[in-house]
Amino acid sequence: MSQQLDPIQIARLPYTQRNEALSKIFQMLLTLDENTVIKTMTDVLNVLASKATDEEYKNWCESGARIISMYDDNVIKTILQLRAKAVSNLPKNLAERDAKIMSEVLQSLDPSIREKLMKNMK
């Protein structure tokens, strides 16, 4: 699955197209088993953290956060837990870059989206 997914190309798409593409990706990921989701997320984050510009990485994360926030709390919590497991598989320098980018993205989001995501990170 992750072999045909180019997160940088998706991150470069115009806002609406990027959101549509990520929405389809999340819908598909929710049908897969946990290990496959973690591996796919790890692969995607590895590419973004090692090769994407800050703007591309933020585009991906912002669209992803907006889409995730539309799900029910239990789904949001599951997605965020799987993402955290994926980040834990990254080399330290890439995990640190991910944390920095995610922090910036969270601060830039509409407060209602940020609060919904933050309460499900606990």
End-to-end CA distance of the chain, in Å? 29
pTM: 0.92
* Residue 14: domain span: 2-119
Q: Give pLDDT, residue 5.
A: 78
Q: Give pLDDT, residue 114.
A: 95
Mean pLDDT in residue range 93-122? 95
The predicted-structure confidence for 31-89, as pLDDT tens digits, reads as follows 999 999 999 999 999 999 999 999 999 999 999 999 999 999 999 999 999 999 999 99
The Cα–Cα gap between 75 and 1 comes to 21
Total domain count, the chain = 1
Say yes or no to pLDDT of 3 above 60: no
Closest of 114, 38, 37 to residue 69, by C-alpha: 114
Indicate the pLDDT class of residue 24, thresholds 50, 70 and 90.
very high
The Cα–Cα gap between 9 and 99 comes to 21
Here the tokens at position 65 are 């956060």
